[in-house]
Amino acid sequence: MKEQLQKIIEGDVLDDEKTLTEFSQDTSLFDVRPQVVVFPKHAEDVKAVVNWVNENKDTQPADTPALSITARSAGTDMSGGPLNESIILNFTKYMHGAPEIDVENKTARVLPGTMYIDFENETLKHELLLPTFPASKTINAVGGMAANNTGGEKTLRYGKTEEYIEKLKVVFSDGNEYEIKALSKNELEEKINQNDFEGNIYKEIWELIQNNEEKIKNAKPNVSKNSAGYYLWNVWNGTTFDLNRLIVGSQGTLGIITEITFRLVPVEKFSKLLVVFMDGMDGIPAVVNKALKYNPTSMETYDDETLKLAIRFWRGFIKERGFLGFLKMGLSFIPDFFMFITGGIPKLITLIEFTGDNEAELEKKLSDLDKELTSLHITTGGDKKFKIRTQEVKTKAGEEKYWSIRRDSFKLLREHSKGKRTAPFIDDFIVSPEVLPEFFPELQNILAQYPIDYSIAGHAGSGNFHIIPLMDLAEPIPPDTILELSEKVYSLVLSYNGSITAEHNDGIIRTPFLRKMYGDEIIALFQKVKDTFDPNNIFNPGKKVGGSKQYIKDHLIQSKNQTE
C-alpha cells in the first residue's frame, strides 16, 4: 500500500513502526493501529488518496481491514475520533498556515493542520479572535476544531465553532473538492438541478429534512451546546440551507476538510476575573445560578486534584514562559500558598470572567457578584456548612496563572498523576444549569458506587462537566466498568434532557450510545446522512454510525507500555 500511494501523491507515506505506533493513539482510551500514515502536501494529494481508495476498496485481501481514510491534525481528541485501522491522513506536517486574513470583513482563510495558537497569534495582530478555542488551545489544530465542533471557556458568550464557519473546502467521497457555503432557496434549487454527485447530496439532505421536519426538531437536545450525532436541525433555518452545519462536528465521516474560512470577532478591551473557592462540590449549583444573572463571558471549573498538581509542579508548569514570565507567575502563587495554609485547599475552584469595553461596568458586576457569593452558606454532606471564599484577581500574571491551570488541567493529570492513567469516557456530558441542584447529587451517588478516583473540570456556566476517572496504571482498563458506568451516567443525563457530549464528540467511545440518546428513528436518519455523503463508507468508519460496544472492548489500551 505504501508504494502505491507514494506514486500518486507529492506528500509522504510512512508505515514504519515508530510512525504507526504514534498514530495508534490520541488522548483517549484506545489503541487502533493503522496500516499507513499519509502526509498530504495539498488538496490534490487528498483527492488522489480518496480516488485510490475508491478504485482499490474491493481488491483488499479478506484478512485485512477494509480500505478507509481518517483525517487527523494534532491528535488531541479524547474520543478516539482520529483513529483508524487503515489510512490516517495527517495535515499538521504540510497543510498548515493562514493564507489570508481579511481584516475588513473579519474573516480568515486557514488550512486544517494549522495549530490554533499559531493562528491566534496572527489574528491578534489585527485585534481579532476565533473565540471557540478549547482548553487545549496551545496543542490543538483548527482542523480538529471544525471536525469536532469545539467549544471552550468563551462558549458561554460566543457559542461553538459551528457559528464561525463562513466557508469550507471539502473533498467528498467522489474524489472532488467542493466549496461549501450557506445557500438561499434559489441557490439550493440550482445545486439540486446539477444532477451530479454534489447536487444529489443537496437533494437527498433537503428531502430528508423536509420529510422528517418534526422528528428532527424534537430530537435537538435541550442544552446550550451539543456534539452528539449529526446536526440535522441546524442545516435549514427557513431562509438559508448550509451544509457546513452538518459537516462541522461530523468528525470527518462525511468528507475531508481541506480549507476553512472562519468568521472572527474583535478582541474586547478589558477583562475582570473573580476566582471562587468552594470546600465541596455541593456549592456548584448555587454559584452557577447566581453568576449567570450577571452574564459572564466565561465560567470555568477545576478541582483540588488539578490544583494540587499545579502547585506541586509549579516550576515545570511555568518554565515555558521565559524568565520574566516565570518570575511574575511564580510570585502570583504566593497568596494562594498563604490562603491554603490558613483555610485549607478548596475542593473546587471556579473562574468567573467578565469582558467588555467598559471597565467600570465590569468592575461593578464583579463586585456585586462577589458580595452575593460570599454571603452564601452552602450545606454539604452531613449537614455541614461552608462559606465560599473569593478572590478578585488584580494582575495579568494572576489571571494567566488561573487560566493556565484550567487550560492545562487534563495535561497535568496525564503527566503527573503518579501510578494513575486518565480514562476519559464520561468526560463531556451537559445538562441545563437550572437542574444542577437536583442533578449533581444524583451524579455523585452514581460515582460513589465505583472504587475509582476522578477529577472534575469543565464549563460550569453551561452545565458542561468533564469527569475524568483516574485508573491504576498497572491494571488493564476494565471494559465492563466503563460500559456500565457510562450507561448509568448517560441515563441520568438523558433523564434531565441533556446530551452525552457537549464538545468532545462521539468517536469510538460514545457512538454506541447514540441510539440510547436519540432512538431508532433518528439513528436511521443519521445512517441516511452517512450513506448520502459516503456510500462506500470510506471516511472514518465506526464514528457517528456503525460503532459498537464490542469495538470499545477490543481496542482499549491494556498495558503501561502502550501509554508511554
What DSSP line would sit under 33-58, residue for residue? --SEEEE-SSHHHHHHHHHHHHHHGG
Residue with cell 468563551: 154
Summarised one tens digit per residue, pLDDT across range 452-494 is 888 888 898 999 999 888 777 567 778 999 999 999 999 999 9
Q: Same structural domain for residues 293 and 408? A: yes
Is there a domain that residue 317 lies in? yes
How many structural domains comprise the chain? 3
Of the residues 266, 281, 312, which one is the last residue of a structural domain? 266
Q: Same structural domain for residues 90 and 26? A: yes
Confidence of residue 135 (pLDDT cuts 50, 70, 90): confident
Is there a domain that residue 26 lies in? yes
Is there a domain that residue 445 lies in? no
Is there a domain that residue 54 lies in? yes
Q: Same structural domain for residues 375 and 301? A: yes
Is there a domain that residue 234 lies in? yes
Q: Same structural domain for residues 252 and 275? A: no
pLDDT at 2: 95
Segment among 70-84, 277-291, 360-374, 505-519 with least mean pLDDT = 277-291
Q: Same structural domain for residues 260 and 304? A: no
**How many helical (H) and strand (E) elements, i.e. helices and strands, does the chain have?**
25, 23
pLDDT at 290: 92
Is there a domain that residue 355 lies in? yes
pLDDT at 369: 96
Which residues are CB-neighbours of 258 under 8 A, at least 6 positions away? 43, 46, 95, 111, 112, 169, 170, 171, 177
| Predicted confidence (pLDDT) at residue 218 exceeds the cutoff of 60 | yes
pLDDT at 78: 93
Q: Which residue has the higher pLDDT, 534 or 418?
A: 534
pLDDT at 49: 98
Give pTM, 2 decimals.
Answer: 0.91
Q: What is the 3-state secondary structure (H, E, C) of 176-193?
A: CEEEECCEEHHHHHHHHC
| Predicted confidence (pLDDT) at residue 151 exceeds the cutoff of 80 | yes
pLDDT at 564: 35
Q: Same structural domain for residues 305 and 408? A: yes
Share of the chain above pLDDT 70, in %: 89
Q: Which of 55, 79, 44, 263 is nearest to 171 (CA)?
A: 44
pLDDT at 306: 73
Residue with cell 480568515: 108
| Predicted confidence (pLDDT) at residue 359 exceeds the cutoff of 70 | yes
| Predicted confidence (pLDDT) at residue 184 exceeds the cutoff of 90 | yes
| Predicted confidence (pLDDT) at residue 97 exceeds the cutoff of 80 | yes
φ/ψ (deg, to 5) at 421: -120, 145
Q: Same structural domain for residues 277 and 250? A: no
3-state helix, strand, coil in the chain (%, to 5): 45, 20, 35
User: Cα 159–116–465 angle (5° rounding)?
Assistant: 45
Is there a domain that residue 511 lies in? no
To the nearest whole number, what is the mean pLDDT of the chain?
Answer: 90
Q: How far apart are CA 163 and CA 249, in angstroms?
A: 12
Q: How far apart are CA 481 and CA 454, in angstroms?
A: 14
Q: Same structural domain for residues 276 and 405? A: yes
Q: How far apart are CA 521 and CA 525, in angstroms?
A: 7
* Amino acid, single-letter form, for residue 175: G
Signed CA dihedral, 546, 549, 550, 554: sign only: positive
Q: Same structural domain for residues 251 and 226? A: yes
| Predicted confidence (pLDDT) at residue 30 exceeds the cutoff of 90 | yes
Of the residues 246, 266, 286, which one is the last residue of a structural domain? 266
Domain carrying residue 372: 269-415
Q: Where are the alpha helices (DSSP H) in 172-255?
A: 185-192, 197-211, 213-219, 244-247
- Strand pairing report for 256-263 and 165-171: antiparallel
Is there a domain that residue 89 lies in? yes
Q: How far apart are CA 534 and CA 539, in angstroms?
A: 7
| Predicted confidence (pLDDT) at residue 328 exceeds the cutoff of 50 | yes
Cell numbers at 559, concatenated: 498495558
State the average pLDDT over residues 431-438: 89
State the average pLDDT over residues 105-122: 97
Residue 24, SS3 per DSSP:
coil
Q: Which helix (H) or strand (E) holds 491?
A: helix 479-495
Q: Same structural domain for residues 172 and 262? A: yes
Q: Same structural domain for residues 252 and 320? A: no
- Residue 45 sits in a domain whose CATH number is 3.30.43.10
Of the residues 415, 444, 469, which one is the last residue of a structural domain? 415
Q: Same structural domain for residues 112 and 245? A: yes
State the average pLDDT over residues 333-337: 64
pLDDT at 562: 39
Q: How far apart are CA 25 and CA 33, in angstroms?
A: 8
Q: How far apart are CA 305 and CA 412, in angstroms?
A: 9
